[in-house]
Amino acid sequence: MENANFHHALKIREDLCIGCSHCMNVCPTEAIRVKNGKSVLFGDRCVDCGECFRVCPVSAIIIDHDDFNYIFDYKYRVALVPAVFTGQFPEDISLRQIYSVIMDIGFTHVYEVENGVEILSDAINETAANHPEKKPLISSFCPAIVRLIQVKFPSLVDNIMLLKPPLDISALHIRRELVSKGIPDEETGIFYVTPCAAKIAAIKDPVGELSSAITGVINMDILFNKVYRQVKQRNIQSCTLPIGGKLSKKATCWSLTNGEAPHVKGRSLAIDEIKNVIDFLERLENEEVSDIDFLELRACDESCAGGVLTISNRFLTAERLRNHSDDYQSEQEYQHPDAAASILENKDFLMEQIEIGEIKPRSMMKLDENMSEAMKKMEKVNRIMQLLPMVDCGICGAPSCQALAQDIAQGDANINHCIFIQKILEQKGELSLDDSVKIMQEIWGFGKTNKYRDLKGI
């Protein structure tokens, strides 16, 4: 039931980390501590939302991805591009230019992720109609939210719709399409251009599935830099259209906030930003809110337009996508001779594959597997909480007094990590100044406590 070693796309580079605790303070699942002057990640609590990545002042938090040259291991290289990627570019750069450059830098095909929406939106309504017991149905679109529910809201895992996101549906379709054109499956590499860390983790270690149809992942910021540079350097007029043809307005805006909700029958609600989502799920768990049929929940503010690997301002990206989607409606586009068949022609095949397996809870909240042990630990936590100052200063290397108390009860920390307790112990003569400094060094590293040896002249 539990898998502590599941894949994370977020990694902390110890050589770069300065132990500033910014990441620790923003982590919505309290998954980070500072030890020996470096941030340490608790893998079983991290949901790959990427909030830590946003605030790191020294870029010590990195997002694991595949090397760009990995694409050349394959004879046929498909760039699976989400609409928010095109939304990163200034308005005067056309979709044609963007896609042409993607082909020029090494891809043989460009396919838009949101094509899968045409299959998925019907499947969502079918699931909602066939499974009233799952009400409110929670979208499986955002992988950080799926993981958040697994670790923090285990009683709600059954509400998650067991359907593949558009990304996987499109990957399956394009794979099948290329095979139908006589291209051997093993010669095709499908590379997803990701706006966030959570999607990478979901591809490398899919929840509810054994493997993914996607070969590799290219981070959006990296591809953006490559493409934008080429666009700037050359005046590209050639027109390589995406092989899927035009996206509908619904598909183009699917990854934005309120992209899914309006297309699901009944009362549906769209909530973005992970703390807003946590607050809402708390209420949902208490059944304080009821009679909602569908929940679109996204970890990032402005959904994928606000992904941690995006470059452009999230509001401008969202605006651009909405404008593009209007263009799509009006413009009569030239159809590329290599254009793939519409995804709807593969509907039966894709509908057969669209379901994913059971999503299991893996609660990070429990103090112990055994309830009486957990009760003992909780009593200990409560006793410790009486002693702590409740200022959540973070000097102990934990994000809050509560987190420190739990770490102590679990045997991962000591009460004298608290700076207030240290002062009292020093006053009582139970802790020497040297020992107190040593404790600080164990938390914050030698460098930070050694800086202040010579204070003269300040």
User: Which range, of 46-54, 132-140, 217-225, 283-291, touches another protein by CB under 8 A?
Assistant: 283-291
370 binds another protein (CB under 8 A): yes
374 binds another protein (CB under 8 A): yes
Distance (Å, whole) CA 434 – CA 442 = 12
383 binds another protein (CB under 8 A): no
Side by side, the strands of the sheet bearing 268-272 are: 137-138, 294-298, 268-272
* Residue number with CB closer to another protein (133 or 348): 133
List 106, 245, 266, 361, residue binding another protein (CB under 8 A):
361
* Residue number with CB closer to another protein (106 or 361): 361
279 binds another protein (CB under 8 A): no
286 binds another protein (CB under 8 A): yes
List 122, 301, 368, 426, residue binding another protein (CB under 8 A):
368
435 binds another protein (CB under 8 A): no
The residues in 121-180 that bind another protein, with binding defined as CB under 8 A, are 154-155, 157
List 75, 229, 267, 366, residue binding another protein (CB under 8 A):
366
CB 156 to another protein: min, Å: 8
User: Which range, of 27-35, 279-287, 310-318, 418-426, touches another protein by CB under 8 A?
Assistant: 279-287
Q: Residue 415: is it exposed, middle or buried by C-beta count within 10 angstroms (0-12/13-18/19+)?
A: middle
3 binds another protein (CB under 8 A): no
Contact between residue 295 and residue 137 where contact means Cβ atoms under 8 Å apart = yes
Distance (Å, whole) CA 248 – CA 250 = 5
User: Which range, of 3-11, 326-334, 359-367, 450-458, touches another protein by CB under 8 A?
Assistant: 359-367
Distance (Å, whole) CA 58 – CA 62 = 10
Kindly give the interhelix angle for 433-444 and 419-427, rounded to the nearest 10 degrees.
Answer: 170
427 binds another protein (CB under 8 A): no
Q: Residue 23: is it exposed, middle or buried by C-beta count within 10 angstroms (0-12/13-18/19+)?
A: buried
User: Which range, of 55-63, 223-231, 247-255, 277-285, touches another protein by CB under 8 A?
Assistant: 277-285
Interacting residues with another protein (CB under 8 A): 154-155, 157, 282-283, 285-288, 361, 363, 365-372, 374-375, 378-379
